[in-house]
Amino acid sequence: MTIHSNPAAGLDGVAAAVTALSHVDGEKGELIVAGMRIGELAQNTDFEGLTARVWAAAMAREVDAAEARRWLGQARVAAFQRLPAILPATAGLPMIDAFRVAVAAIAPIDGLASEAAIVGAMPVFAAALVRQAEGKAPVAPDPALGHAADLLRMMRGEEAGVEEAKALDAYLVTVADHGMNASTFAARVVASTQANLFMAVTAGYCALTGPLHGGAPEPVLDMLDAIATQDRIASWIDEALARGERLMGFGHRIYKVRDPRADVLKRAVERLGGRGTDLGFAAEVEAYARRALEVAKPDRRLDTNVEFYTAILLDALKIPRRAFTPIFAVGRTAGWTAHALEQQRTGRLLRPSSIYTGAMPG
């Protein structure tokens, strides 16, 4: 048998799926999701519309955006009813683990497809866990609202401004799908065994949580806090790189140029007008970090990734930093469910090989 990849290289360049869902061009810095560039999608489609598009592409049939919106509203209401059974099992856990327990407890809903039950449950659980950590009771969903607006409302206990809801919506659209990233791959491996979508999405979330993937935005804010002032930018970054540390929010396995999602999120945070982290300061940190990485790693092409402006946007929306990874999962679940459906339809088990380097029996 021919072995095609170097296992030490983390499956770089190995195509693990044939997909109609998304395409990442790392050289051009381009992301296409279900036929549209990410910048266009974030401007013209809301999260429900995007979710309908990826489900439609996965199942090769029409999915109406208005219907998806109704399903998600219905699923949020059903998920809320399950909170009394779920929240006690999460008490005392760090948010990232509490959300894992909640995701694992998502249940089927009579009359709704699994993908709708799952995507609908995510914001309800994320909002309830944020409130639980603040000692507050959960707030019931409003199925008439959009997914993003309802998430902010359930989290805060009051309706968010239109611009805030739009900014979160743009974020959810921007992170909804992204080629064969680690969490999507994990979800597809599970779905390839013909396990159900609930199993696949739980695996996806677990893979998302690490700092090399979706766990980075919280440390991005920690970094900005640690730098604190303009005059410390250069020394802080130079010293971190000299110690061999990674700058959070920079570098990507596929993108060799700036991640196109960074711009979409930067624009969304600009429209919020001066809330949260000082955008001028963040842009200076970004610019210095890009130059410093060029010098420190001249043979690599390390540029800004999605997590840098994710952190700044979610902070501007007053979402606590410990909830950043669960909020990322709220968006990415559209992609995980679509990929799991697409993988199941292939009927093919994902089962790579390995290269044995252990001892052979004598």
One of 156, 253, 266, 339 touching ligand ACO (CB under 6 A): 253
One of 303, 307, 315, 342 touching ligand ACO (CB under 6 A): 307
One of 120, 141, 204, 214 touching ligand ACO (CB under 6 A): 214
C-alpha dist (Å) from residue 302 to 22, 137, 305: 22, 43, 9
User: Residue 250: helix, strand or coil by DSSP?
Assistant: strand
307 classed as catalytic: yes
One of 306, 327, 330, 341 touching ligand ACO (CB under 6 A): 306
Residue 212 binding ligand ACO, by CB under 6 A:
yes
Stretch that binds ligand ACO, among 205-213, 273-281, 317-325, 345-353 (CB under 6 A): 205-213
- Residue 24 or 95 having the CB closest to ligand ACO: 24
Residue 283 binding ligand ACO, by CB under 6 A:
no
**Judged by CB under 6 A, how many residues of this single chain contact ligand ACO?**
21
Residue 179 binding ligand ACO, by CB under 6 A:
no
DSSP string for residues in 267-320: HHHHHH-S-SS-HHHHHHHHHHHHHHHHHH-TTS---B-HHHHHHHHHHHTT--
Let me know: does 23 contact 31? Beta carbons within 8 Å.
yes
How far apart CA 329 and CA 326 sit, in angstroms, is 5
- Residue 71 or 309 having the CB closest to ligand ACO: 309
How far apart CA 148 and CA 169 sit, in angstroms, is 5
One of 205, 236, 250, 324 touching ligand ACO (CB under 6 A): 250
Residue 29 binding ligand ACO, by CB under 6 A:
no
How far apart CA 182 and CA 204 sit, in angstroms, is 8
Cβ within 8 Å of residue 26, ≥6 positions away: 252, 254, 255, 256, 257
Instruction: Using CB positions, name the residue nearest to ligand ACO.
Output: 251
252 classed as catalytic: yes
Residue 302 binding ligand ACO, by CB under 6 A:
yes
Backbone angles phi, psi at 31, to 5 degrees: -125, 125
Residue 247 binding ligand ACO, by CB under 6 A:
yes
Which among 48, 115, 286, 307 is annotated as catalytic?
Answer: 307
| Per-residue burial over 304-329, b = 16 or more CB atoms within 10 Å of its CB, e = otherwise | bbbbbbbbbbbbbbebebbbbbbbbb
- Residue 49 or 214 having the CB closest to ligand ACO: 214
Residue 314 binding ligand ACO, by CB under 6 A:
no
Q: Where are the beta strands (DSSP E) in 41-177?
A: none
C-alpha dist (Å) from residue 103 to 117, 206, 330: 11, 10, 10
One of 216, 233, 265, 285 touching ligand ACO (CB under 6 A): 216
Interface residues with ligand ACO (CB under 6 A) are 10, 211-214, 216, 246-253, 293, 297, 300, 302, 305-307
Catalytic residues: 252, 307
